[in-house]
Every structure is written in C-alpha cells, then in structure tokens.
C-alpha cells in the first residue's frame, strides 16, 4: 500500500490497523535537542480517546503512547522517532458479519475494488483509529511550533447545523463539554439534538474550525506546494472529511473584488491587513495574519437503522450495522485536524529555510 507517508522535511509514516496489535508512526526530520516526553504526546491522544462519553464509541482504550526511538535523556536525538500505541480492546468478532457485504458510506467496496481483499475488522487502515498515529506525530510538531511562537487551535464550529455564537466564544469551554464546542449554551443544544439522533439510531456530522496564530509571512511554496493546497491535502486525508474552505471560503463566490480584497496598511512600520477574507494565505503563501479554515465532517456511516446494500456477490440485502461506533465523530476529529495542521505548517517552515541566502547565512556564515 502506497501513500502512508506525509511531508518532506518533517516526514511522518503511519502504520497499523484498527484491530491489529497496535498502531504507530515514524517521524523523520525532527531536529535534535527538542525536549520531548511521552506526556507531551499523551495530552493530545487523550483528546481523541474513545469511551469518554455516550456520544462517542464505547470502545475502551487507554491509547497510551510509547516512544520507542529517537529520544535520549528527554531530548530528541535527530534520528527517526518511533511512537507506538497498543490496541487493548479489540472485538473483531463484532465485525465478522460484515465480511461478505459492503457497509453504506464506508470504504469496504472501494478497498475490495482496489486490492481484491480487505481487512473487515473495523475497516483496517481506513478506520478512524489510524488517526492515533497522526495525532502522536502532530503533538511533536505542535511542540516545535510553540517554541517558535506559533499556536494552533481547533474546535467544533457546529454539529447537526447548530453553530457557535462567536460573541460567547470561550476556548476553555471547549474542553469542558463532550462536543469540543467553545460555547456553553450551544453545547447544551447540541447535546439535546445528539440524544434525539441516537434514539433514532442515526448519527450527526459537523464543521471543525482551525486557527493558526503567530504565523510569519512568506511560508508556502507558490506552485504545487502552496500553503493552502498542502493544508487541504492534510485535512482531506482524514477519513471523515468531505470539504475544506479557507478564509471566507465558498462565500467569496457571492462577493465582489472590492468586498473580498484585504487592504494593506502600515501599522507602525509593520505591514498588516484591515480584514482577513483570505484566511491568512495569498498566492499560496502566508501573509502574516491568522490562518483560518473550516472542514466538514460527515456523519458516522455506521448506524443501527436499517439500510440497503449488496453482498460481495452483488446480491441486494438490508443490514443494521453492529459494533461500537461514534454517533458523533466531530469532537474526536478536532485534535486530528489540529495536529495535521501542525505537521503541515512545520514541514513548510523547514522548506522555507532554504528559500533565501540570508536565511542560510544566519546558520552557516562564520
């Protein structure tokens, strides 16, 4: 299987299956000298851990991170960092009945079409559990970025069409409710809708918003490796995502140039913008303002209500999906969006170090 690696200078390769012995990631390109512990990684993994509320899968996993290489006496050595998480609560028998049919909304049919064989135990590599490895790698990237003054914050913007009121925005509230919503009142409304949806044997989708603060201008390669293109690739590679918009996104189609352009001004010797319709990216390169984007997360396709499908032989049939699934996947995807963004930003920052002679001279000129 190709395509399990992401990034160039800061390169991550994920491995493992949902119901295998474990999952993990190998990080290549992390600079030596970074203070790094398993606790640094664990706090991110705990944000996507299953079994923490009635609105996510009941699978019980500690998702404990183990650093296997690349760290000595609390600091990175510059060699590849390997991080592993063991699976502890596999119930492969929960999925034995789906071996011979294709679940609606899943990758069962497409995997079979590509390989002629699939790991039906929870979806194998197509399972959302693969994101453990991404989060572990992104925790390392986020720590590097924080030392550079760059912070990334993602949160639920809406679930089931119920969106936050920005006048009540409180990022600390995000970690107090089961939906990762930075709005206490909206969290209550979402909870009521989620309960009703679960009773109806259905699931909900939503939107995650992500903001990058402290981003310097000039990051991103102007052709194929544009900052917004790389962010889109990173986010769209997350299994449940179906769309991304940066800045004003699709709303720009309804505006004029005079409305959409961000005017520049001199802010005490610093070039700034009066607005941020661009979402912090111009020509594929960061413009120094906050990077803002949103991504659409589809409803969990594994639902308990009756659905029509076909068997591997093409026979039509009706099924109810069993097993332990997330009625609302959005809250656990928040940290995945956040950490994939961190990997993307760091990789492009590293690439930018060779874009100008004066950057090289800062390191090598004696």
For the chain, the domain total comes to 1
* CA angle, residues 321, 126, 10, in degrees to nearest 5: 150
Q: State the CB neighbour count (10 A cutoff) for residue 188.
A: 13
The CATH number assigned to the domain holding 101 equals 3.60.150.10
> What confidence tens digit (pLDDT) does each residue in 281-301 have?
999 999 999 999 999 999 988
Name the 3-class secondary structure at 301: coil
Beta strand residue intervals within the chain, DSSP E: 5-6, 11-16, 22-28, 66-69, 71-72, 75-76, 81-86, 151-159, 162-163, 206-213, 241-246, 264-267, 270-273, 281-282, 285-286, 291-297, 307-310, 316-319
Q: Annotation-wise, does 47 bind a ligand?
A: no
189 labeled part of a ligand binding site: no
Whether the Cβ atoms of residue 358 and residue 154 lie closer than 8 Å to each other: no
Q: Is 327 annotated as a binding residue?
A: no
State the pLDDT confidence band at 95, using cuts at 50, 70 and 90.
low
For residue 304, the SS3 value is coil
Would you say 59 is a known binding-site residue? Answer: no
Residue 154 sits in which domain range?
A: 5-364
Query: Is 356 annotated to bind ligand?
Result: no
300 is in an annotated binding site: yes
Q: Is 283 annotated as a binding residue?
A: yes
Tens-place pLDDT, residues 341-363:
999 999 999 999 999 999 999 98
Q: Is 48 marked as a binding-site residue? A: yes
Q: Global pTM?
A: 0.92
């Amino acid at each position: 299987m190709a395509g399990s690696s992401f990034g160039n200078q800061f390169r991550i390769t994920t491995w493992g299956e949902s119901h295998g012995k474990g999952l993990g990631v190998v990080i290549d390109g992390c600079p030596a000298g970074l203070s790094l512990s398993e606790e640094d990684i664990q706090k991110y993994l705990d944000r996507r851990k299953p079994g923490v509320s009635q609105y996510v899968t009941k699978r019980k996993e500690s998702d404990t991170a183990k650093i296997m290489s690349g760290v000595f006496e609390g600091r990175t050595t510059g060699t590849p960092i390997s991080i592993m998480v063991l699976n502890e609560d596999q119930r492969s028998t929960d999925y034995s009945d789906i071996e011979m049919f294709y679940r609606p909304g899943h990758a069962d049919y497409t995997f079979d079409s590509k390989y002629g064989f699939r790991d039906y135990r929870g979806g194998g590599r197509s399972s959302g559990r693969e994101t453990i490895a991404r989060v572990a790698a992104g925790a390392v990237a986020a720590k590097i970025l924080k030392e550079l003054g760059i912070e990334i914050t993602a949160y639920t913007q809406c679930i089931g069409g119920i969106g936050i009121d920005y006048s009540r925005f409180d990022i600390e509230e995000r970690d107090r409710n089961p939906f990762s919503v930075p709005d206490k009142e909206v969290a209550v409304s979402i909870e009521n809708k989620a309960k009703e949806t679960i009773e109806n044997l259905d699931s909900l989708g939503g939107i995650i918003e992500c903001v990058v603060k402290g981003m310097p201008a000039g990051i991103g390669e102007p052709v194929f490796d544009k900052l917004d293109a790389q962010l889109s690739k990173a986010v769209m590679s997350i299994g449940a995502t179906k769309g991304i918009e940066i800045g004003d996104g699709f709303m720009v189609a309804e505006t004029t140039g005079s409305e959409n352009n961000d005017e520049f001004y001199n802010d005490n010797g610093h070039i700034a913008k009066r607005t941020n319709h661009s979402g912090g990216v111009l020509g594929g390169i960061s413009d120094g303002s906050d990077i803002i984007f949103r991504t659409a997360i589809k409803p969990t396709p594994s639902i308990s209500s009756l659905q029509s499908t076909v068997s591997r032989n093409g026979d039509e049939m009706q099924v109810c999906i069993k097993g332990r699934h997330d009625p609302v996947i959005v809250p656990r995807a928040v940290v995945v969006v956040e950490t994939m963004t961190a990997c993307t930003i760091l990789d492009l920052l590293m690439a930018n170090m060779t874009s100008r002679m004066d950057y090289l001279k800062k390191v090598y000129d004696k």
